[in-house]
Amino acid sequence: MHQLRKPYLLFLGDVDLKSDAKTAFGLRDWCREDVMGEWSLPAATVSLDLPRFSPAEAAARGARSIVIGVAAVGGVLPANWLPELAAALDAGMDVVSGLHSRLGAFPVLVEAARRGGGRLLDVRHSDQVFAAGTGRKRSGRRVLTVGTDCALGKKYTALALARALAAQGVPATFRATGQTGIMIAGAGVAVDAVIADFIAGAAEALSPDNAPDHWDVIEGQGALFHPAYAGVTLGLVHGSQPDALVLCHDPSRTTIEGYPDCPIPDLQHAVDRYVEAARLTNRGVRCIGVSINSCSLADGAWRDYAHGLSARLGLPVVDPMRGGVGPLAQALLQP
Amino acid sequence: MHQLRKPYLLFLGDVDLKSDAKTAFGLRDWCREDVMGEWSLPAATVSLDLPRFSPAEAAARGARSIVIGVAAVGGVLPANWLPELAAALDAGMDVVSGLHSRLGAFPVLVEAARRGGGRLLDVRHSDQVFAAGTGRKRSGRRVLTVGTDCALGKKYTALALARALAAQGVPATFRATGQTGIMIAGAGVAVDAVIADFIAGAAEALSPDNAPDHWDVIEGQGALFHPAYAGVTLGLVHGSQPDALVLCHDPSRTTIEGYPDCPIPDLQHAVDRYVEAARLTNRGVRCIGVSINSCSLADGAWRDYAHGLSARLGLPVVDPMRGGVGPLAQALLQP
């Protein structure tokens, strides 16, 4: 289980495309209170419009981690970023990275971490040893976001739902299973990075016993219908033993992204398959609603789509970006 | 992908329980032509009834690997086995282990491997980097054994089926996905040991493009209905893109072994779920038969059971230990 130290200084490297800074924008939007400011190299043209602090300044003001908030070509940490990261380590901060490159592969960072006492945290990787799943029923309640594909709103929906529950005074914890989610939450497990035998076990560890009325809102991964990642999804479903599922979908997709021969399933079929899979470890599971990424639809088209889908499935249909997830929170809390 | 060097010297340590030497017996029975002999410590009371050779003798006669063929308490390599393994390394052989302990954690073995030029091969672990699954249809034909639980005959059935096909002159290759299978085949991937994101990709790499009439007979792992390991199973199903499935089952089990709250599914349901899962990457997949581990049944009961099950499912039902897998090979080769 990754455990990060906040507050963060967000590092943007020399980014010149907003889309490459998705992680930094996500952190700014979802845990603004944990973000002290931003820092970047002179060549950077993208900004988060946050106060700028050098690593040394940020550390002096209490920042505990510098977080790499941008993508790098091929996932490889560029050499010209190293001095700023080393400066943060020398000031006693941790470095948090979601890149493919492991921070420990750079001697200059290893040395600086040794000097400053900070840690090198690769949230894309998982070096923890987990036990195999037990299937034992845990106390507390759990909702898992699942999807018809990758990258269509499972993290966003889970974050919005956890926030909506908290706003109603319901005890709820967002449980992160991917790198950006882990950075936002400050803790979590990259379930796709664990040894295959322990996917379900890692998911069990992520969401331990809790108070009977507490909700874990668990970030889903992949899709049961994805030719590369379905195994991760199924293990996460089993280990999460969810009481409730929210199905996430993007109506503009007809095939799995990057897999043109793999059609997106019918939504009723998807609901049925997920509920059936989840019943293995929680016979009381139900799908409580659908979360749509509707950015491809104009307002009228979205209203018609949501209305029709809701009638067809008999479930509330929301877009968290268009009206929020209130109906999902309400459905979750219905006995 | 593990690639082992044959012939083998099988090492039995100080084993005193036949069941702890399951791996060694499996190797003797399934690749006798690759096994030069056995070796053990004086305290051992179990023998394979093979010629005994010390590591140095075996190496002089051409043995290329010493294979640890016994289980160790907690999966930990006992210190008193090290001198014999080091002797094999000093004689230029590889050491092959399926234990949890990594051979590289023992400096005496690392040193001996350096001196002798041999390798330390942990077939339980996988240090290879695989690509994510592509779902791309590969040439050649594939059959995968699947099951209602772990440890009920998926490896045995696949080995028997590969042998039956070869006996009929059909080009066929057994593809190993677990440690004993890898030792028997001399190659393979421990799919449960790869990083979760790459289960399907590893299965794709295990069974590459082949001649149109060639059959890969792929060893299954786990079960779709297993609360700990279903993710591995699903990724293996997707990456294998099987044309045919054989369902393996033990009628004496009513719940998943070690999971008393998890019932074994009805066999028609199991067939339906596996076929549906496999259709994601091969729409032409069919289940061609059932392989039963019937050791709990007397002869008459077995005949009645097989007859009834075959009529109910409309599929051939065999026990490889009781009459062989001929009907499965026949069903596989039907157009």
B25 by Cβ neighbours in 10 Å (0-12 / 13-18 / 19+) ranks as middle
Distance, in angstroms, between A100 CA and closest chain B CA? 12
Q: Which residues of A touch B235 (CB under 8 A)?
A: 196, 230-232
Q: Contact at 8 Å (CB) between B264 and B255?
A: yes
Q: Do B197 and A134 touch (CB under 8 A)?
A: no
CA–CA distance, B3 with B121 (Å, rounded to integer): 9
Whether B234 and A238 lie within 8 Å, measured CB to CB: no
What is the pairing mode between strands A141-147 and A215-218? parallel
Structure tokens at B72: 């160790």
Rounded CA gap, B203 and B240, in Å? 6
Q: In sequence order, which residues have a C-beta less than 8 Å from that of residue A194 and are 6 or more positions away?
A: A126, A128, A130, A202, B195, B196
Q: What is the 3-state secondary structure (H, E, C) of chain A?
A: CEECCCCEEEECCCCCCHHHHHHHHHHHHHCHHHEEEEECCCCCCCCCCCCECCHHHHHHCCCCEEEECCCCHHHCCCHHHHHHHHHHHHCCCEEEECCCCCHHHCHHHHHHHHHHCCCEEECCCCCCCCCCCCCCCCCCEEEEEEECCCCCCHHHHHHHHHHHHHHCCCCEEEECCCHHHHHHHCEECCHHHCEHHHHHHHHHHHCCCCCCCCEEEECCCCCCCCCCCHHHHHHHHHHHCCCEEEEEECCCCCEECCEEEEECCCHHHHHHHHHHHHHCCCCCCEEEEEEECCCCCCHHHHHHHHHHHHHHHCCCEEECCEECCHHHHHHHHCC
Does the beta-carbon distance from B200 to A227 stay under 8 Å? yes
Q: What is the pLDDT of residue B72?
A: 87
pLDDT of residue A126: 85
Only one residue has tokens 């799995």, namely: A256
Q: Tell me if chain B has a CB within 8 Å of the CB of A135.
A: yes
Whether residues B230 and A200 touch (CB distance < 8 A) is answered with: yes
Model confidence at A322, in pLDDT bands (50, 70, 90)?
very high
Q: Which residues does chain A have within 8 Å of residue B134's beta carbon, measured at their own beta carbons? A: 227-228
CB of A245 closer than 8 Å to CB of A287: yes
> CA B274, B275, B276, B279 torsion: positive or negative?
positive
Residue pLDDT, tens place only, A198-254: 999 999 999 999 999 999 999 999 999 999 999 999 999 999 999 999 999 999 999
What does the alpha-carbon distance between residue B84 and residue B9 come to, in Å, rounded to a whole number?
Answer: 11
Q: Which of A9, A311, A2, A39 is nearest to A187 (CA)?
A: A2
User: How far is it, in rounded angstroms, from Cα A157 to Cα A165?
Assistant: 12
pLDDT of residue A65: 98
Q: Report residue A73's pLDDT band, with 50, 70 and 90 as the boundaries.
A: confident
Closest alpha carbon to B223 in B160, B156, B277, B161: B277
For the segment A70-86, the average pLDDT, to the nearest whole number, is 93
Q: Compute the nearest-CA separation of A195 from chain B (Å).
A: 5
> Residue A32 pLDDT > 90, yes or no?
yes
> For residue B297, which amino acid is it?
L
**Contact indicator for A89, A116 with CB cutoff of 8 Å:** yes
Pairing of strands A94-97, A187-188: unpaired
Per-residue confidence (pLDDT) for residue A173, from 0 to 100: 98
Does B281 contact A at CB distance below 8 Å? Answer: yes
C-beta atoms surrounding A186 within 10 Å: 18
Q: Is the peptide bond before A107 cis (omega within 30 degrees of 0)?
A: no
Q: Do B196 and A200 touch (CB under 8 A)?
A: no
Asked if the C-beta of B194 comes within 8 angstroms of chain A's C-beta atoms, the answer is yes
How big is the CA angle at B137 (ends B135 and B139), to the nearest 5 degrees?
Answer: 145
Q: Which of B122, B137, B229, B255 to mutate to test the interface with A (most CBs of A within 10 A)?
A: B229
Give yes or no for a contact between B93 and B55, defined as CB atoms under 8 angstroms apart: yes
CA torsion, points A128, A129, A134, A139, in degrees to nearest 10?
Answer: -30
Q: Does A264 lie at the interface with B, CB-CB under 8 angstroms?
A: no
CB of A37 closer than 8 Å to CB of A44: no
- Position A335 scores a pLDDT of 77
pLDDT for the residue numbered A157 = 98
Q: How many residues does chain A have?
A: 335
* Chains A–B, number of C-beta pairs less than 8 Å apart: 115
Cβ–Cβ < 8 Å for B277, B234: yes
Say whether the peptide bond before residue A335 is cis (omega within 30 degrees of 0): no
Instruction: State residue A2's pLDDT score.
Output: 87
Rounded (5°) CA angle A242-A258-A103: 75
The tokens of A151 are what?
């990258």
CA A161 to chain CA centroid, Å, is 13
B264 and chain A in contact, CB less than 8 A? no
Sign of the Cα pseudo-torsion (B302, B303, B306, B311, in order) = negative
State residue A1's pLDDT score.
82
**Per-residue pLDDT tens digits for A279-306:** 999 999 999 999 999 999 999 999 999 9
Which residues of chain B make contact with A224, given a CB cutoff of 8 A?
A: 234
Contact A231 B235 (CB under 8 A): yes
Chain A, residues 55-94, CB within 8 A of chain B, namely: none
Q: What is the pTM of this model?
A: 0.96
Give Cβ neighbours of residue B177 (< 8 Å, ≥ 6 apart): B188, B189, B190, B191, B192, B203, B206, B218, B219, B220, B221, B236
Q: Which domains, ranges and CATH numbers included, belong to chain A?
A: 2-122 (3.40.50.720), 141-333 (3.40.50.300)
**CB-based contact A196 B193, cutoff 8 Å:** yes
Query: Mean pLDDT for chain A?
Result: 96
Say yes or no for a CB contact (<8 Å) between B238 and A261.
no
Residue A127 is predicted with a pLDDT of: 80
Q: Which two tokens mark B274?
A: 């596996």
Contact residues, chain A, for B224 at CB < 8 Å = 234
Q: How far is A259 from chain B (nearest CA, A)?
A: 7
Whether B192 sits inside 8 A of A192 (CB atoms) is no
Nearest CA in chain A to B201: A228
For chain B, say whether A146 makes contact (Cβ under 8 Å): no
Cβ-count burial of A214 within 10 angstroms (0-12 exposed, 13-18 middle, 19+ buried)?
middle
Indicate yes or no: CB of A227 within 8 angstroms of CB of B262. no
Q: pLDDT at position A129, please?
A: 86
Say if B258 is an interface residue toward chain A (CB within 8 Å): no
The reply to whether residue A234 touches residue B238, judged by beta carbons under 8 angstroms, is no
* Side chain identity, residue B72: A
8 Å CB contact of A195 and B200: no
Nearest chain B residue to A133, by CA: B228
- Tokens read off for A255: 């095939």
Instruction: Assess contact for B247 and B214: CB atoms under 8 A.
Output: no
pLDDT surpasses 90 at A50: yes
φ, ψ for residue A220, nearest 5 deg: -80, 170
- A238 vs B: CB within 8 A: yes
Position B73 scores a pLDDT of: 85
pLDDT along chain B (335 residues), means of 10: 95 95 95 98 97 98 98 90 98 96 96 97 90 96 98 97 97 97 97 96 98 98 97 98 98 96 97 98 98 97 98 98 96 91
Q: Which of A229, A233, A266 to mutate to test the interface with B (most CBs of B within 10 A)?
A: A229
The Cα of B176 is separated from the nearest Cα of chain A by a number of Å equal to: 16
Instruction: Tell me which amino acid residue B66 is.
Output: I
